[in-house]
Amino acid sequence: MRKHRPITLNRARLCAGMVLALAPSLSPAFGQGPISSNLAPLVQLQPPAPNGGQTPPPPTFTLQDALARAARIEPQFLSAQNAAQLAREDRFQARASLLPSAGVRSDFLNTQGNGVFPSGRYVTNDGVHVYREWGVFHQDLSPGTFSASGYHRASAAEAVAQAKAEIARRGLVVTVTRAYYALVVAQRKYATAQLALAQAQQFLTISRDLEQGGEAPHSDVLKAQLQYNAQNQTLRESQLTMGNARLDLAVLISANFDVDFQVVDDLHLSSALPPFPEVQVMARRDNPDLSAAMETVVGAGQEVTIARQAFLPTLSLDVDYGLEANQIGWNTVVAAGVEKGAVPSVGYFLTASLNLPILDWGARRSRLRQAQVRRHQAKVELSAAQRQLVRNLNAFYQEAQTAREQMDLLREAADFATESLRLNTLRYQAGEATILELVDAQNTVTQARNANDDGLARYRVALATLQTLTGTF
């Protein structure tokens, strides 16, 4: 048993001052709310305005604000969005191609005369002046028109593009969430390092005063000095980490790379984790990877249909209604038969074209084989996507569940470490503990707080990762 040292007035006064200095870290409500609430006053991220002038506060962003800003400038997400929009236009064009087209055509043919015949030098014309005013109607009648295979293929391609855009959006959510809470945790660790440095300074002051009063050996002063130096270095590293985290988030949310902003610390407001059966239902219903793979199979099937339809005949109809005459009018005089007088000029002209493929040296059959290979590959990828979904769903859910369970353990460990520091402070005051025990208790508190902050961020990122498979819950 270590012999108790008498508590002198000088020692009691110094230890009381140390207890007061440690008061922020000894709050009984440590495990009942956000840990950083007691540390926020120590964080000085913005320098005071020069000459007492008023400067506007930097903007404050929530996670939803950061996600909205990132969605406006992130190039990969915007590329996926644009691809979905292009696919939508392709589907619109494919639907339009199934419908008849109509237009208006106006021509004037001026043929050089030959001085003998009124039709001029070209036998295809019946006069040197020919006017064409036509309304044109065109319709393709083919197997693809009746089955709408091109439209279905474009619809499947649009669904694939939209699913990929959703994949990009959910991936962006994970990226921004990770960067956002990396900054939040870095700020918390910086505040913890500030507090630890203040405590180490207080320990050093007390040790020196006790040494001068003959109540502590010089080794306590040396240990306190080493602790102060270590905490000083930790503070500098945490400041560097916080700066880098801010830069990483600014790249994602600021178009002009403005790093003058604040983020809301809402780590303690995490969502609940649904039961696994509900997560499975959401994954089967709202998983974009599975949707993209299924629509790819549908599109590949339409490619096979289109390749087979190339072996069948096609029919096209062109109906022209209007006039082709030497004059403009409903009844005109034909230059080649002036003696006949005015005759009706306006009428229709129908062209029906039947195309029957016979020989193309195997090109159509080659395209059919290509389409069948793509369809087989799409089915293989669908099967792989289904297996990968099952694997990722179990892994991501277990990660989120483990992170959720560890949150309680880490918070409890932080509470125990805080209580241990309080008890060791009292023991040191009573002469029952050494400076080594006190320093170890302080280091344990710092590590426990940092671990708790990391655990909270881990759970938020795990939820965002799980929601890439299930959608928002």
Contact 203, 228 (CB under 8 A): yes
Instruction: Report d(CA 148, CA 137) in Å as an integer.
Output: 20
Both structure tokens of 153 = 């293929």
- The one-letter code for the residue type at 282 is M
Higher pLDDT, 142 or 157: 157
**How far is CA 210 from each of CA 25, 64, 176, 397, rounded to the nearest angstrom?**
23, 53, 51, 54
> Does residue 59 have a pLDDT over 70?
yes
State the CB neighbour count (10 A cutoff) for residue 372: 16
Distance of CA 197 to the CA centre of its chain: 39
Buried b (16+ CB within 10 A) or exposed e, 86-119: ebbebbeebeeeeeeeeeeeeeebebeeeeeebb
Find the mean pLDDT for residues 282-293: 94
Find the mean pLDDT for residues 366-391: 96
Instruction: Report d(CA 44, CA 262) in Å as an integer.
Output: 12
Distance of CA 464 to the CA centre of its chain: 10
Q: How high is the pLDDT of residue 91?
A: 94
User: Could you read off the pLDDT of 307-336 as tens digits, one per residue?
Assistant: 999 999 999 999 989 988 888 888 888 877
User: Could you read off the pLDDT of 190-199 as tens digits, one per residue?
Assistant: 999 999 999 8
238 exposure class (CB count in 10 Å sphere: 0-12, 13-18, 19+)? buried
Q: How high is the pLDDT of residue 246?
A: 96
Tell me the fold of 9-26+59-98+170-312+363-470.
Outer membrane efflux proteins (OEP) (1.20.1600)
Closest CA to 196 of 135, 237, 162, 246: 237
Both structure tokens of 395 = 């892994």
Q: How high is the pLDDT of residue 325?
A: 85
pTM over 0.85: no
Which range has the top average pLDDT, 204-218, 342-356, 423-437? Answer: 342-356
> Does residue 386 have a pLDDT over 60?
yes
Find the mean pLDDT for residues 46-61: 68
Which residue matches tokens 């569940």?
A: 401
> Does residue 188 have a pLDDT over 90?
yes
* pLDDT confidence band for 121 (50 / 70 / 90): low
Q: What is the DSSP letter of 329?
A: S
Instruction: Report d(CA 436, CA 308) in Å as an integer.
Output: 83
Both structure tokens of 269 = 């407001």
> Does residue 338 have a pLDDT over 50?
yes
224 exposure class (CB count in 10 Å sphere: 0-12, 13-18, 19+)? buried
Q: How high is the pLDDT of residue 340?
A: 81
- The one-letter code for the residue type at 173 is V
Dihedral angle over CA of 320, 321, 324, 325, nearest 10: 170
Listed in sequence order, the residues at least 6 apart from 135 whose beta carbon sits closer than 8 Å to its beta carbon are 102, 103, 104, 105, 320, 321, 322
User: Could you read off the pLDDT of 21-48 as tens digits, one per residue?
Assistant: 444 443 333 333 333 333 333 333 444 4
The CA radius of gyration of the chain, in Å to the nearest whole number, is 40
User: What whole-number percentage of the chain has pLDDT above 70?
Assistant: 88
User: What whole-number percentage of the chain has pLDDT above 90?
Assistant: 58
Q: How high is the pLDDT of residue 334?
A: 81
Instruction: Report d(CA 38, CA 23) in Å as an integer.
Output: 10
Domain boundaries, the chain: 9-26+59-98+170-312+363-470, 103-147+314-356
Listed in sequence order, the residues at least 6 apart from 140 whose beta carbon sits closer than 8 Å to its beta carbon are 97, 314, 315, 316
